[in-house]
Copies of this chain bind each other. A is one copy, B any other.
């Protein structure tokens, strides 16, 4: 039996495009004489469709897509994810289902039992969990269908769910398992995915075909890396990361596997590729080609510009240098050098005249006050405004260049440098931004060395340095990681050996700046805990603040 895995980039709500893409894959698979072709979770409507799932009209379009795919199955079977309606009045109105289509009919619909509802996932918001599990038989093979999370509840001392769907059907001796997934990227997750498939292979001893979505949907990047697991416990095949692929596997080869085949997984290289795909798909799926961003001469905007040029092409990236009286000469020079290395267009717009006009208007109202963060914010907001004006005039999207460390502690100006259509580095700590810069420069100097080595500064007042108000970034990032990713409390972090006063100050900064993060751009997610949809906190909360 020949099984095709189609790891494709679907677009939420683009039913015509998604069905077209699947139809082409089905045609190829027919030519290759595949018996079954597998598409990913909720492939008809795209994942995550979020509250579009509340619209009956939208579900009707999913059903139409399933009908069109069913019509293609005269001589091939299709496994595809799509929402299905709950026929009984009790419970949620939908299931998250894997359809098995063959002989121009829906042969079986297996619903997802384990509905991830944590971090970026909201599945119980929409779906009723399955409580029935059945195999489907096709060409004399018994097949267990599972949907993503259904295979993730094993090998963990603190399992999130009280059932394991495969436990319910394993006694019926399935010949293999198909898992349709939409499992988004984190820099640890490709390895997690290998580990969980191996844990399933070990527990059940049955081949597994795991098909993942690839492509980005706003903040979530899906990295592909679909897997075929052999009954001996080896990974028989791991499909490419960050690109579409259609591959064929002979069931017998899988059963007789002798060797594990997996790809290398380097954290920074994966983050780099995820961010490039994240930018590319954000623009492509919104129908935009061009971006604009501010270049400060610092490392964050430099890395963002490089990633943008790699995602969109250098001709689609435009940079603006917006020096003030506090900008150092080297900043402008470093920014110019970067633009020239990348071959991207740049313009210079000194902000002092606009700043002057604000001052004249505000000075009478500020009478008797002393300069403070207000004046720094004005500079940052003038820059944000100039970028937005260029964006509005020329139809390009502003890229946000804030990093995760500064977003965490509120070291940024709302409506200023926190503006933009999408945040490229908002889930990348400053220490990781440095690692990205070195990765980018590994073969030749793309980012001017000086942007990497000089002490980080916002340059919003004379001789300002980040280190004036923040601890060194390696310490800051470690504390932030323990709090944000590991949800440790202050006592636990202090026990690890960090200065108590510093820990309390940092956690307080994180919490009192929730209002800023609420209003900033969506953040491309690369870690287990990114700011945005996966981290939900009350602005008025008084905890650690």
Contacts and interface: CB of A to CB of B under 8 A. Distances in A.
A130 B348 CA distance: 62
A132 to B, nearest CB: 13
Contact of A415 (B159, B384, B518): B384
Contacts of A356: 357
Given A124-B124, A157-B89, A52 B538 contact: yes
Contacts of A58: 489, 543
A41 to B, nearest CB: 15
A252 interface: no
Interface stretch (A133-141, A267-275, A402-410, A519-527): A519-527
B385 A414 contact: no
B538 A12 contact: yes
Nearest to A393: B374
Interface stretch (A172-180, A190-198, A358-366): A358-366
A286 interface: yes
Interface of A: 11-14, 17, 46, 48-52, 54-58, 60, 89-93, 117-118, 122, 124-125, 157-162, 217-218, 281-282, 285-286, 347, 349-351, 353-354, 356-358, 360-362, 365-366, 369, 372-374, 377-378, 381-382, 384-386, 388-390, 392-393, 414-415, 419, 421, 487-492, 515, 518-522, 533, 535-545
Top 10 A-B pairs, shortest CB-CB distance: A57-B489, A13-B543, A357-B357, A374-B392, A285-B540, A13-B542, A14-B542, A415-B415, A12-B541, A124-B124
Given A58-B543, A90-B159, 16 more contacts: A12-B541, A12-B543, A50-B538, A52-B543, A56-B487, A60-B489, A90-B161, A91-B162, A117-B122, A217-B540, A349-B361, A356-B357, A365-B390, A372-B393, A373-B392, A378-B389
